[in-house]
Amino acid sequence: EQDGKVVEYLLKVLVVGDLGVGKTSIIQRYVNGLFDREYKATIGVDFAYKLIPISKDKVVRLQLWDIAGQERYGNMTRVYYREAFGAMIVFDLSRPNTLDSVRKWKADIDAKVRLPDAKQTPIPVILLANKCDMVKNSINPAQLDAFCKENSIVKWFETSAKENINVEESCTHLVKTILEIE
């Protein structure tokens, strides 16, 4: 822009998954560069923002929606999902049963939010296999590839909020995927 104005786009992204999988830790790591062993589980919805420069005159204000206290139901209200453009579903590699819940979360997302296009396309979702610092060789890449394909998930990443592995990469991948759609 000649007048030097920067246009800001607000992008709402959901972070869901079972209790204790590391949702808040991933958000804190990504947004603040920090890892804390204890995050208080406030009841309700929390927001965190990250500014992502896209070009000289464009910046994305990524709005990450964290949840607390409602994870055990495996579903959220439509209000929570409204106008989201993407989602991350997190599971805990040290608790394999948290992967089973991913299907439930994906179905809930698809049932309650769609992109504002004519085709009502489901929003892009990525899968975070978190706490990879805790387990050795527990990932079967072919199996996770198949899982993603089966559940229409864009891509999976093994992450560690603790050791700062793939947190930035996965978030950036989701944002890029969203921006390509628009």
State the residues that interact with Mg ion by CB under 5 A.
Answer: 23-24, 68
- Taking the least distance from each CB to ligand GDP, the nearer of 60 and 167 is 167
Which among Mg ion, ligand GDP, none contacts residue 54 (Cβ within 5 to 8 A by kind)?
none
Which among ligand GDP, Mg ion, none contacts residue 133 (Cβ within 5 to 8 A by kind)?
ligand GDP
Q: Which of residues 11-50 bind ligand GDP (CB under 6 A)?
A: 19-25, 37, 39
Q: Which of residues 94-133 bind ligand GDP (CB under 6 A)?
A: 130-131, 133
Q: For residues 108 and 78, is the Cβ–Cβ distance under 8 A?
A: no
Which among Mg ion, ligand GDP, none contacts residue 131 (Cβ within 5 to 8 A by kind)?
ligand GDP
Which among Mg ion, ligand GDP, none contacts residue 160 (Cβ within 5 to 8 A by kind)?
ligand GDP
Q: For residues 22 and 94, is the Cβ–Cβ distance under 8 A?
A: no
* Separation CA 73–CA 57 (nearest Å): 42
SS3 percent helix, strand, coil of the chain, rounded to 5, is: 30, 30, 40
- Taking the least distance from each CB to ligand GDP, the nearer of 110 and 163 is 163
Cβ neighbours for 5, distance < 8 A, ≥ 6 positions apart: 57
Closest CA to 179 of 16, 59, 48: 59
